[in-house]
Every structure is written in C-alpha cells, then in structure tokens.
C-alpha cells in the first residue's frame, strides 16, 4: 500500500510541473496598468471604474470596477486576471458615480477625470498613456467634481 501511494504522488507532481511553467509566458506579455486616483472628497460605498480607451467615449479596451472605501484615494490595477491590453497609447478615465445614476456619462456631482487633464477633468488633446508589453505602468491622477 505504501509503495502504490508514493507512485501516485510522483505521477501527480510530474503532471503538474509542465502546466506551472507554461503559465509564465502569457503573464510576462500582459501589460499591467496601476495607479492611484485622488478624490476631491471621501465618498464611501460608491461605484467607480477606471477605463483604458482608444478615444474619449463609452467604448473601452480595459476596465476595472469597484466600490469606494472611506479613503480619499482609490488604488487600481488592470492587466492581470486575463485582461489583455494591446500595447499602444491610450486615454485613461477615472470615474466615481456619486449619485449612482449608472451609465457612462457623468452627472452633476460625480467625480471624474482623465489622466493628464488640465484641472477641469476633461480629456487631454491627444492620447497620453503609453502601455507596453511586460511593463507595469503607473497612472496617478486626481478626479474633480463634475459640474
Ligand atoms: Ca452619476
């Protein structure tokens, strides 16, 4: 009985090893986007998203969502868990739906901002967030209160 138990263990280890090695290649190729959003005020329990888009609008190539805590910052991360962002230069949008009205457009009082905005929260004149394979890129920016 003891011998057959060891045989089973050895077989299981041999079967698992090739799978573990194979997982390294895709994760090396997936760009990771991280950053911190600074909020104009604490607003706990509100839905937020951070999006990577090719042009300002509702269509995104990657998104992370969550619910705000009582902090005035949100730390976010994208690019893991199977999200694959093609390398290139993008816009990055941060948004907190304060009145929880839903949808893609901000309503008065929501927190919103595009990475690199000039203080009004609006998108910059051209794409400014360069994302490359195998690199963890940080985009920290502040959100403003939508008028
Ligand atoms: Ca809203």
Between the CA of 73 and the centroid of ligand 1 the distance, in Å, is 19
Could you count the other beta carbons within 10 Å of the beta carbon of residue 73?
14
Structural domain includes residue 96: yes
Q: In degrees, to the nearest 5, what angle opens at C-alpha 25 toward C-alphas 130 and 30?
A: 25
pLDDT in tens for each of the 147 residues of the chain? Answer: 455 554 444 444 444 444 444 344 344 556 688 999 999 999 999 999 999 999 999 999 889 999 999 999 999 998 644 455 677 899 999 999 999 999 989 999 999 999 999 999 999 999 999 987 777 889 999 999 999
DSSP assigned state of 105: S
Structural domain includes residue 126: yes
Structural domain includes residue 20: no
Torsion angle in degrees (nearest 10) through CA of 12, 17, 22, 27: 100
Domain count, the chain: 1
Structural domain includes residue 85: yes
Instruction: Give the structural domain span for 62.
Output: 31-145
Name the region of 104 (left: φ>0; alpha: ψ -120 to 50; beta: rest).
alpha
Structural domain includes residue 74: yes
89: domain CATH number?
A: 2.60.40
Between the CA of 49 and the centroid of ligand 1 the distance, in Å, is 12
Structural domain includes residue 25: no
Structure token digits, residue 124: 């910059």
Between the CA of 108 and the centroid of ligand 1 the distance, in Å, is 7
Structural domain includes residue 3: no
Between the CA of 43 and the centroid of ligand 1 the distance, in Å, is 13
Between the CA of 27 and the centroid of ligand 1 the distance, in Å, is 35
Structural domain includes residue 87: yes
């Amino acid at each position: 009985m003891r011998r057959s138990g060891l045989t089973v263990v050895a077989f299981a280890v041999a079967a698992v090893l090739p799978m573990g090695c194979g997982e390294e290649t895709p994760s090396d190729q997936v760009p990771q986007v991280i950053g911190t959003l600074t909020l104009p005020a604490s607003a706990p329990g509100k839905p937020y998203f951070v999006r990577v888009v090719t042009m300002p609008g509702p269509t995104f190539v990657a998104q992370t969502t969550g619910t705000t805590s009582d902090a005035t910052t949100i730390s976010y991360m994208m690019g893991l868990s199977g999200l694959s962002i093609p390398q290139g230069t993008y816009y990055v949008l941060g948004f907190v739906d304060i009145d929880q009205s839903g949808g893609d457009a901000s309503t008065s009082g929501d927190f919103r901002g595009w990475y690199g905005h000039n203080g009004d929260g609006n998108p910059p004149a051209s794409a400014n967030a360069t994302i490359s394979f195998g690199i963890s890129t940080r985009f920290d920016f502040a959100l403003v209160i939508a008028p």
